[in-house]
Amino acid sequence: MKISCLLLAEGQSQRMAGVNKLTLKIGDQSLVKGTLSEIKKVALCEIIVVTGQEHLKMAPELQGFGARIIFNENYKSGMHSSIREGLKSLSACDAFFICLADQPYFDHTVLVNMLEALPQKNGAPSIMGGPKSKSQ
């Protein structure tokens, strides 16, 4: 199965008194790098990072991960606009994750567990549960 990931990194950090929380260090790397590093540990067909405010400041934080960076010019209208921009940029895939860049201590095993729970093609259980019959 081809699985993609949309990483939402467009927030305005309104409660951070002018500081972009995604660039703050947690340990030896920024918050966004830590989240992206964990996502990168999972075998995905692509990672799309949707940025907004401080797009240019975020660019150095996102380099070296092989992710495609998309700028959402409508980021002020809310997270839904960033999801929409990310969806427009997805390659053909069977499923995708939506992750938030501001998750301190995010662990890739969350994604691995969700991948393992996904129904597989060709006779695997459907979303409604139970095996698919040959007539389905």
Q: What is the CATH number of the domain that holds 50?
A: 3.90.550.10
If one counts the domains in the chain, the total is 1
What is the mean pLDDT of the segment spanning 94-118? 92
Q: Which tokens sit at 128?
A: 């409604």
Q: What pLDDT shows up at residue 107? A: 96
What is the mean pLDDT of the segment spanning 91-117? 92
Least confident of 4-8, 115-119, 126-130: 126-130
Does 11 fall in a domain?
yes
CB atoms under 10 Å from CB of 47, counted, come to 21
Does 123 fall in a domain?
no
Q: Which residues contact 85 (CB under 8 A, 6 or more apart)?
A: 50, 70, 72, 74
Does 125 fall in a domain?
no
pLDDT digits (tens, 9 = 90+) for 1-60: 899 999 999 865 555 556 677 888 888 999 999 999 999 999 999 999 999 888 888 888
Does 108 fall in a domain?
yes
Does 32 fall in a domain?
yes
In terms of residue numbers, what domain contains 101? 3-117
Does 134 fall in a domain?
no
